[in-house]
Amino acid sequence: MTLKNKKKLKTKSKKYTFIDLFAGIGGFHIAFNKAGAKCVFVSEWDKYAQQTYKNYFEKKEPDLFKSGNFVGDIMSVDVKKIPSFDILTGGFPCQPFSQAGHKRGFKDSRGNLFFKIAEIISIKEPRAFFIENVRHLEKHDNGKTFQTIKHIIEDDLGYSFYPQLVRASDFGLPQHRPRIYMVGFKNKKIQFKFPEPIKLQTTMSDIFGGKVDREIGYTLRVGGRASGINDRRNWDSYIVDGKRRRLTPEEGKKMMGFPKDFHFPVSEAQAMKQLGNSVAVPAITAVAREIVKTLDRHYAK
């Protein structure tokens, strides 16, 4: 083996650990697994989302479930009992800040879940975090909500804060799905740069296996199913080969970038709700890999 190859081995990524909060059906989990990290704790309160999560991950990572580190409501968890970890991840509930909800923000009890994230970071002191929310978080309450989050992370917790608007279509998927991604590091000297967008790799015609007049589809969301094709609330109906078709969970799964072996043990209505609440896996994966690379550059021995 050459000296050059030995150097490469020394800087190869270690097995970072992460926790998956507000886990939904595991989009962050899949992404960070792809980036070479290991999940040590999961929190998801919805019983149907729990079923889907377990259906995919339990056979792959049985120890995670046997250890008692797959839990429900994070608000009832003693933070000190959460295993040590390197990276905190999670898409905290977006409804309090979204157009689809009532935009109540921190006045909504779900909006206060951000403060639980802050508590966990304060007590467990991970090396990094990666959280996401809807784009309207940035403008909610004339920007005060976002400034509060930024202040807590930078001033109260002492972490860096890198926000970026990212679209699913920036990373190969045929839906816009704009979201605010927020990344930060305990060591503020660490510089972070979000990955560059790539060309669209899949179109709606690929999703349906027929001709669709839109390359990029509507953003998947929780409500509004079965609305008319011309209804402004429509997000699940398309004209395919001249005929109206509605998205199925299998097609929605492709639009979100979930793997082929990912299956739903719940009703179609629940599956579509879960997809609408989930994250664009390829976009999350691209950022996860960049976080791991960034940690490698700083911590590699």
When pLDDT is averaged across residues 106-115 and rounded to a whole number, the result is 60
Q: For residue 41, what are the contacts with CB-CB under 8 A and spacing of at least 6?
A: 19, 20, 69, 71, 82, 83, 85
Q: Break the chain into its structural domains and give their ranges.
A: 16-197+279-299
What is the C-alpha to C-alpha distance for residues 11 and 253, in angstroms, rounded to an integer?
A: 35
pLDDT confidence of residue 11:
40
Per-residue HEC secondary structure of 43-58 comes to ECCCHHHHHHHHHHHC
Whole-number percent of the chain with pLDDT over 90: 74
Query: Catalytic positions, please?
Result: 94
Tokens at residue 41, please? 């704790």
Centre a 10 Å sphere on the Cβ of residue 212 and count the other Cβ atoms it contains: 20
pLDDT confidence of residue 188:
95
pLDDT one-digit tens code per residue, 161-214: 999 999 999 999 999 999 999 999 999 999 999 999 999 999 999 999 999 999
pLDDT one-digit tens code per residue, 269-278: 999 999 999 9
Q: Architecture of 16-197+279-299 per CATH? A: 3-Layer(aba) Sandwich (3.40)
pLDDT confidence of residue 14:
55
**87 close to 185: Cβ distance less than 8 angstroms:** no
Q: Is the alpha carbon torsion for 39, 59, 260, 251 positive or negative?
A: negative
